């Protein structure tokens, strides 16, 4: 049974789930895959799996105070009933959906939480606490627990550090997608010996054929072959609109700083005749209140009053395989979101990562360090366009060498992709505990 962050709005989460599901299907022909999802019907169709509501789907509508109380109350009822279920007693105080959710833990052979950022204090109730409850449920019912390619942190509150330390001693295997997370776990006192740093599971995604990707861009009225022939440098830009988040007054200045730096980056490309800029969304606000990258890109374009002769927003919606291939066509990519950087660098495209807080510093800095290009992960809140432009020119001057280096690094780390899923399969086949 798989717990997924998949909201069907973020291509990174979908790529992670897809890569792991495909490995299970290829290796375990008689395996029944159940995915716990916030949108079970849509997830089932998108990934061709059987899907049920996850913990937060059972919680339902959220509000700051009432939502937390609902999470705690549901968690306590599930834990109490898990012990009753283990002892063969009748379930109490659970509705039908909650009872089915709990029985799914009893019926499964193993519980697997796919990669992502599930353990932090940015959204502790919907992420850290709910995952902790599920890990505990699985352990009460005697099930092995595997965690795939996680980022852990930031953890700045005493209770989140303590809760994480207790919960992450339980899994049979934890894989992390950056060394920052590993050092943080050791710092807060997690002694679990079964922890390994691996590459993000999205590195395992197979892109569509390059010719098909070129055709997709042609439908968007972007002739990338012609642009290359006349010497135009094509730049892919993922500009996640962080400035649209509802924040307290004291954080608004930082949000405006992010937006202003992005505006100056776009303005730089537009003033230079060498460049053609394409905004590439990797998040869509279709099923929930997610970020809409296309909406943010259009806002930047309108603010600068740009014409479409040198800039384009991809208007159609693409899946993770298509976006990865599209990002591989550009000469340079600027990535604000984590998985746009993963998709681009895994295709060998020279990339600059722009992070805006501690959460994204851990993710992007960890990724760029793994790819041996850490100097190109930049804190957007502490930089200026004058500091970013030399990085852009540096990558462009050596882009052929950089492509080779990124391709070489990708090939080296791909052996660790979906490591937790592979170990889980080994366990199911041999019933041998992870050493």
> What's the CA gap between 286 and 36, in Å, rounded?
19
CA contacts within 13 A on the Cβ side of 163: 23
> What's the CA gap between 418 and 198, in Å, rounded?
8
43 burial via Cβ count (<10 Å: 0-12, 13-18, 19+): buried
Q: Are residues 248 and 332 in the same domain?
A: yes
Give all strands (DSSP E) within 366-408, no chain letters.
Answer: 377-379
> What's the CA gap between 377 and 337, in Å, rounded?
12
Asked if residue 82 is part of any domain, the answer here is yes
pLDDT of residue 55: 95
250 burial via Cβ count (<10 Å: 0-12, 13-18, 19+): exposed
Residue 355's DSSP bridge partners are 379
Asked if residue 183 is part of any domain, the answer here is yes
Our count of domains for the chain comes to 2
Length of the chain: 435
Structure tokens given for 180: 């920052």
Percentages (nearest 5) of helix, strand, coil residues in the chain: 55, 15, 30
pLDDT (mean) for 141-153: 96
pLDDT (mean) for 365-382: 96
pLDDT of residue 285: 75
> What's the CA gap between 178 and 149, in Å, rounded?
8
| Tens digits of residue pLDDT in 73-92 | 999 999 999 999 999 999 99
Q: Are residues 399 and 254 in the same domain?
A: yes
> What's the CA gap between 216 and 206, in Å, rounded?
17
Exposure string of 396-432, with b = 16+ CB inside 10 Å and e = fewer, is beebeebbebbeebbeeeeebbbbbbbbbbebbeeee
> What's the CA gap between 249 and 232, in Å, rounded?
42
Q: Are residues 139 and 237 in the same domain?
A: no
Asked if residue 206 is part of any domain, the answer here is no
- pLDDT band, very low/low/confident/very high, at 289 (cuts 50, 70, 90): low
pTM, two decimal places: 0.94
Q: Rounded to the nearest 5°, which phi and psi values hold at 168?
A: -85, 5
Asked if residue 261 is part of any domain, the answer here is yes
> Which of 103-117, 224-238, 290-304 is predicted with the least confidence, judged by mean pLDDT?
290-304
Asked if residue 98 is part of any domain, the answer here is yes
Asked if residue 203 is part of any domain, the answer here is no
> What's the CA gap between 54 and 3, in Å, rounded?
7
pLDDT of residue 2: 95
| Tens digits of residue pLDDT in 212-245 | 999 999 999 999 999 999 999 999 999 988 877 7
Structure tokens given for 110: 């193993």
> What's the CA gap between 74 and 55, in Å, rounded?
9
What CATH number should be reported for the domain holding residue 59? 3.40.50
Q: Are residues 162 and 235 in the same domain?
A: no
First to last CA, the chain: 22
Structure tokens given for 390: 């030399």
Whether the predicted pLDDT of 176 surpasses 80: yes
Q: Are residues 140 and 287 in the same domain?
A: no
Q: Are residues 35 and 142 in the same domain?
A: yes
| Tens digits of residue pLDDT in 379-424 | 999 999 999 999 999 999 999 999 999 999 999 998 899 999 999 9
Residues 8, 136 contacting (CB under 8 angstroms): no
Asked if residue 205 is part of any domain, the answer here is no
Q: Are residues 99 and 186 in the same domain?
A: yes
- The range of the structural domain enclosing residue 102 comes to 2-198+417-430
- pLDDT band, very low/low/confident/very high, at 330 (cuts 50, 70, 90): very high
pLDDT of residue 139: 98
Mean of per-residue pLDDT scores for the chain: 92
pLDDT of residue 435: 62
Question: Which residue is it, tokens 């500009």?
Answer: 239
Structure tokens given for 138: 């699985």
What CATH number should be reported for the domain holding residue 336? 3.40.50.2000
Cα torsion 227, 233, 238, 243: sign: negative
- Under 8 Å CB-to-CB from 3, ≥6 apart: which residues? 35, 36, 54, 111, 112, 113, 114, 131, 134
Residue 152's DSSP bridge partners are 119
| Tens digits of residue pLDDT in 23-77 | 999 999 888 999 999 889 989 998 999 999 999 999 988 788 888 999 999 999 9
pLDDT (mean) for 257-277: 94
Q: Are residues 91 and 240 in the same domain?
A: no
82 to each of 56, 72, 391, how far by Cα in Å? 18, 15, 54
Q: Are residues 137 and 19 in the same domain?
A: yes
pLDDT of residue 69: 94
Q: Are residues 105 and 181 in the same domain?
A: yes
> What's the CA gap between 238 and 303, in Å, rounded?
17
Residue (of 374, 25, 11, 364) closest to 2 by Cα position: 25
Whether the predicted pLDDT of 7 surpasses 70: no
Gyration radius of the chain's alpha carbons: 22
- Under 8 Å CB-to-CB from 363, ≥6 apart: which residues? 117, 151, 177, 178, 338, 355
Q: Are residues 279 and 315 in the same domain?
A: yes
Q: Are residues 108 and 169 in the same domain?
A: yes
Asked if residue 435 is part of any domain, the answer here is no
pLDDT (mean) for 116-144: 94
Structure tokens given for 189: 């006192």
| Tens digits of residue pLDDT in 197-206 | 999 999 989 9
């Amino acid at each position: 049974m798989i717990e997924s962050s998949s909201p069907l709005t973020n291509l990174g989460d979908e790529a992670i789930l897809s890569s792991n599901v495909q490995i299970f299907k290829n290796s375990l022909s008689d395996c029944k895959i159940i995915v716990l999802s916030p949108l079970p019907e849509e997830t089932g169709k998108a990934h061709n799996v059987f899907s049920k509501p996850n913990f937060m789907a059972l919680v339902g509508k959220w509000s700051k105070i009432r939502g937390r109380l609902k999470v705690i109350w549901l968690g306590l009822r599930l834990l109490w009933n898990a012990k009753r279920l283990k002892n063969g007693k009748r379930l109490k105080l659970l509705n039908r959906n909650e009872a089915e959710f709990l029985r799914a833990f009893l019926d499964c052979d193993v519980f697997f939480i796919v990669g992502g950022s599930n353990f932090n204090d940015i959204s502790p109730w919907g992420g850290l606490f709910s995952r902790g409850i599920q890990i505990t449920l699985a352990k009460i019912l005697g099930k092995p627990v595997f965690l795939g390619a996680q980022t852990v942190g930031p953890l700045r509150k005493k209770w989140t550090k303590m809760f994480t330390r207790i919960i992450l001693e339980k899994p049979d295997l934890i894989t992390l997608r950056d060394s920052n997370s590993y050092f943080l776990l050791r710092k807060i006192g997690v002694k679990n010996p079964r922890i390994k740093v691996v590459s993000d599971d999205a590195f395992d995604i197979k892109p569509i054929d390059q010719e098909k990707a070129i055709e997709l861009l042609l439908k968007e009225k972007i002739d990338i072959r012609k642009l290359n022939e006349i010497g135009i440098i094509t730049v892919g830009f993922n500009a996640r609109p962080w400035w649209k988040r509802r924040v307290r007054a004291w954080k608004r200045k930082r949000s405006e700083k992010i937006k202003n730096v992005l505006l100056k980056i776009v303005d730089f490309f537009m003033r230079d005749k060498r460049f053609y800029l394409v905004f590439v969304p990797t998040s869509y606000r279709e099923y929930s209140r997610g970020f809409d990258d296309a909406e943010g890109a259009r806002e930047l374009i309108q603010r600068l009053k740009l014409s479409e002769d040198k800039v384009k927003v991809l208007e159609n919606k693409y899946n993770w395989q298509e976006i990865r291939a599209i990002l591989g066509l550009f000469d340079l990519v600027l990535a604000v979101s984590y998985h746009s950087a993963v998709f681009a660098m895994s295709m060998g495209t020279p990339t600059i990562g722009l992070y805006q807080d501690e959460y994204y510093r851990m993710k992007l800095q960890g990724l760029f360090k793994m790819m041996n290009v850490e100097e190109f992960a930049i804190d957007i809140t502490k930089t200026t366009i004058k500091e970013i432009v030399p990085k852009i020119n540096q990558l462009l001057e050596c882009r052929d060498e950089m492509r080779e280096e990124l391709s070489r690094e990708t090939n080296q780390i791909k052996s660790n992709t979906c490591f937790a899923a592979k170990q889980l399969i080994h366990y199911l086949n041999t019933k041998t505990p992870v050493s």
